[in-house]
Chain A
Amino acid sequence: MDKLTLTEFQRMFQGAVNNLYNKKQLVNELNVFPVPDGDTGTNMYLTLKRAIDETNKRKPEDLRAFGKAICDGALIGGRGNSGVILSQILKGFFESLDGKDKVTIPEFAEALISATAVAYQAVIKPVEGTILTVINTVSKKALSLADKESDFFSFFRELLKTANETLKRTPELLPVLKEAGVVDAGGQGLVFIMEGMLLGLKGEIKMEKSFEESIEELDHQAIGGKLKFKYDTVILTEVPTIDPDKLRKQLEQFGDSIVVARSGNLTKLHVHSNEPYNVMKFVMQYGPLKEARIENMQEEQEEFLAHNKGKQPKPIVRRAVSIVSVSQGKGFDEIFLSLGVDVLISGGQTMNPSINDILAGIAKCEKKYVVVLPNNSNIILAANEAKKLVKDKVVEVIPTRNMVQAIPVILSFNADESFDVNISRAKKILSETHSFSVTYSVRDTKLNNIKIKKGDVLGLTDDKIVLKGKNPEKVLIHLFEKNKNLVKDYELISIYYGEKIKKEDAENVAKAVEKMFPELEVEVVYGGQPFYYYLVSLE
């Protein structure tokens, strides 16, 4: 192949976004620079996803319109530092191709040079050892190959090789990466984009991972809403020749929520319809069925509705304020709702809610006075930003750093007193509350002179890592032993165990703690939180 047209570009970008989707967690785990908040992969994926969505919406008929859609989408949807850099790269790239219908290898190389130039323009002092370094070396390599290569596949493979080599060198260029023992997250994201482009170009767009997740999402939507099609059908079949896009179109006659994924000789498809037998009959004209599964969603829906009806806990106290709280884990969701939190925002270590998510949460509140509990040190800033943007309500952020800190704060609100009195008391309570947590490390690193390996169990007092170990229960007990003097001045120890912990283990730990502090009350509560084995509050 010596020229690329609109069709190839569409395949390349689809490949890129799919590959990034599959690998985004790996990228997140590398994120230590400029701020170690573990969201680079997610941000790059969401930026590129928004760009692709824009092309799907506009259905461009030539390469120019396609490039325009990609650039507009990436600009509007740009998330985080890496997303902004990516949008500049795409902008420079497509500007150079403007007006062309077919792109040759020298033109593609020129476009990469332009992408690099535009990306570097937007920063005074480029930090090397980042995504910028990767695009820079790749574009230079492209230029040096431009006259020699005549086939896009081998051209691309060479570029990918250069990109990988540069990525490996990033720790040498940027000391903070070396210290943490990682390569640059943004650079890794770009490598995955290029890798996905090559896969897309070859027609090997891998969707295996996203298939299960996307059908789960579709089923969930269907069950939560009005049920138009009753039967959920998943079929695995051997049809080596049929084009997935064509199949998708043809399946539309039977129903909706169609997903088609290919892997080698196998095709997996998912459809919601009222006539599953006809779907099977239709698929069988192309090839034999390997597996088929049909579920009646009506039953699931009834169960779902019944389950949800009984489970809407009523607020126990009427308050003069509405409370918006970030939450993670089933147990905590229920605890917060039962304490009278008005709006829950789901949040996580890697998927921090955006300012917009928080604003949306505040908008849902009925009362004029709103308290926001970020429950994570990475979310406090976003919450404060959201607070500044709200005009029609009085918003206060109580800077809770984890979920257990939020509980005494929520309990302290009193409807009979003024908002200001409530807020200053809440802040005072927060400053007096201490918490322990037990979690695990997502990568090798060194913090507070403790050498940490990926998978190590970490013990934290408040937000500081103080010890490591291999067993969550032992680490927790060790934390209590180490902080005996601090703990004995409190009255109540609440231990919230996470989704990965067995109830018996949690109860055994509680018994050991009770022995250590016979004069204190110890309670064990299911929190269901991910990432943290245990969260403990001292009140």
Chain B
Amino acid sequence: MGKIIVSENALAKLAALTTMQCYGVVGLVPTSFKERFSSLLSKDKASRGVKVEIQGRHVSFTVYVVLQSGVKVSEVASTIIRQVSYALEKFTGLKDIDVNVVIKSVRREN
């Protein structure tokens, strides 16, 4: 039997795309401090808003997001956690997953 290798980058991308579909999320922002604080990442670069840490079989994800103001932050965050865990478990079979959400900013209502 051969091996299947899922790269860190693929995991980040999957987490990013799932996060972008969550209701209440208006975008991801870069994980690093150097880049400009509030610049929303475009869809192709969205995975730069996800930090992936792998320790043995345990994978921990941290997504850096901007939310729409006026939504209930705690519920949106827990939706992100649930949807990202669900998507990763479903697509990759990973079982031991942690998802953390960092809310970097809130977008003013138009």
Contacts and interface: CB of A to CB of B under 8 A. Distances in A.
Q: Which of A35, A76, A80 has the most CB of B within 10 A?
A: A35
Interface stretch (B5-13, B29-37, B47-55, B66-74): B66-74
Contacts of B22: 34, 81, 123
Nearest to B67: A122
B68 A121 contact: yes
Nearest to B18: A34
A41 interface: no
Given A34-B83, A81-B79, A381-B81, A122 B72 contact: no
A124 B86 contact: no
B21 A78 contact: no
A276 interface: no
B21 A84 contact: no
Contacts of A193: none
A177 interface: no
A122 B75 contact: no
A331 B68 CA distance: 46
A127 B20 CA distance: 11
Interface string B15-46: 00000111111110000000000000000000
A84 B86 contact: no
B92 interface: no
Given A35-B86, A121-B110, A124-B20, A80 B79 contact: yes
Interface string A123-148: 11101000000000000000000000
A76 B34 CA distance: 35
A398 interface: no
A122 B20 contact: no
Interface stretch (A85-93, A155-163, A450-458, A471-479): A85-93
B75 A79 contact: yes
A150 to B, nearest CB: 33
B102 interface: no
Interface residues of B, number: 25
A384 B96 CA distance: 12
Interface string B79-90: 101110110000
Contact of A123 (B25, B85, B110): B25
Contacts of B109: 118, 121
B69 to A, nearest CB: 9
Contact of A122 (B23, B83, B85): B23
Nearest to A74: B72
A75 interface: yes
Contact of A88 (B20, B26, B70, B86): B70
A355 B81 CA distance: 13
Given A34-B83, A121-B109, A381-B81, A87 B71 contact: yes
A385 interface: yes
Contact of A381 (B27, B72, B82): B82
Nearest to A122: B68
Interface in A355-401: 355, 381, 384-385
A385 B101 CA distance: 12
Contacts of B27: 124
Contacts of A200: none
Contact of B72 (A84, A121, A124, A385): A84
Contact of B26 (A75, A81, A85, A122): A122
B75 A34 contact: no
Interface in A2-50: 34-35, 37
Contacts of A75: 70, 72
A385 B71 contact: no
Contact of B21 (A34, A87, A385): A34
A385 B83 CA distance: 15
B23 A84 contact: yes
A196 interface: no
B76 interface: yes
Contacts of A85: 23
A125 B21 contact: yes
B26 A84 contact: no
Given A34-B83, A35-B82, A125-B20, A78 B26 contact: no
A296 to B, nearest CB: 45
A34 B79 CA distance: 9
Nearest to A124: B20
B81 A78 contact: no
B48 to A, nearest CB: 16
Contact of B24 (A79, A123, A384, A385): A123
A122 B86 contact: no
A498 interface: no
Contacts of A84: 23-24, 71-72, 75-76, 79
Nearest to B96: A399
A83 interface: yes
Nearest to B100: A388
A124 B25 CA distance: 7
B70 A385 contact: no
26 contacts: A34-B22, A34-B79, A34-B83, A35-B83, A35-B86, A37-B82, A75-B70, A75-B72, A78-B75, A80-B75, A80-B79, A81-B22, A84-B24, A84-B71, A84-B72, A87-B72, A88-B70, A91-B70, A118-B109, A121-B109, A122-B23, A122-B24, A122-B67, A122-B70, A123-B23, A125-B20
Interface of B: 20-27, 67-68, 70-72, 75-76, 78-79, 81-83, 85-86, 98, 109-110
